[in-house]
Structure 1
């Protein structure tokens, strides 16, 4: 199964973001972007890709330990950015160092469980809200529109293991479906 570890924004934060995204969709050329759905909004901590079923129990046990060792932390949606001309995202502010630590622990848990992880990179908290259909898209007006966006702070209290079900119908615009297959409270015990 295709898995990743994530922090999921609570409903109130997702509703604030939905209001902001609705305003972005009124900007010129917004229809040329592929907007992610409300149900798919998440901060990926560690992308694992395809994971053999027999590795999942050990992975879950290791993620549970990572959550047990990590304290809850404040977070809020904050401004926006882009990855070149490919993706538009919302950033985060607040407990970024704690989130980076949780991402490193999730990555280490996956590696120790035998999951073949990609090259390790420094974690950058982002929640993807749109992707361009072609490499020539200009995302700068959207980033500028997000410059003043500040969401309400919430307390991150959970690490989630999410299954990504990729589209199979071939229908234009179909989104992946996400399913939480495990979650653990952040307990800050070490």
Structure 2
């Protein structure tokens, strides 16, 4: 199964961002983007790829330890945004207190993946907290800079990430344009619990 560790923002935070981003879907060139759906919005901490069931169980045990060792829920807010070159548009996150807590949590989930044998020993991916809003259908079309500029003033309400999730990702299979992957939590552990 295809797995990743993630944090899911609460419905209220998602609704705020969804209201704000409606204006983006009306910008010139917006039809050249594949927009993600609000119910799928999340922060990927570590992507593990295809994981055999036995290793998934070990990974879940290790992620439960990571969550338990966390210093409790993570206060944050969705804010502004950015782009990964000409490929993806994303919303950012602002941490209200310990700005490195999310990075440490991502590093711990990556370490759990290495110890469970689902990531290479030398896996040290760079982490940038982001929530993907859209992906370009073709590189360079449209120019994502105007979208980033529109996102700049956005600042959502404060919320706290309460749980670390292990999520199964099922890629689209129908071949219908615009079909989204399906995400199903297979493990959930309270942060600091």
| TM-score (normalised: structure 1) | 0.95
Query: Matches of residues 1-190 of structure 1 in structure 2 within 5 Å?
Result: 1-71=1-71, 72-94=73-95, 95-117=98-120, 119-137=123-141, 138-187=143-192
CA distance in 1, matches of 2:34, 2:185: 23
- Deviation (angstroms), 1:76: 0.6
- SS of 2:26's partner is coil
CA deviation after TM superposition for structure 1 residue 156, in Å: 1.3
| SS of the residue 2:100 aligns to | helix
Q: In 1, are the aligned partners of 2:78 and 2:91 still within 8 Å (CA)?
A: yes
Of stretches 74-83 and 120-129 in structure 1, the one that deviates more from structure 2 is 120-129
1:148 match: secondary structure: coil
Contact 2:93 2:130 in 1 (8 A): yes
Distance 1:114 1:165 in 2: 21
| Separation in 1, partners of 2:99, 2:49 | 24
Shift of 1:121: 2.2
Q: Structure 1: state its 5+ residue gaps.
A: none
**What is the root-mean-square deviation in Å for CA atoms of aligned residues?**
1.2
Runs (4 or more) in structure 1 with deviation over 4 Å come to none
The number of residue pairs the alignment matches comes to 188
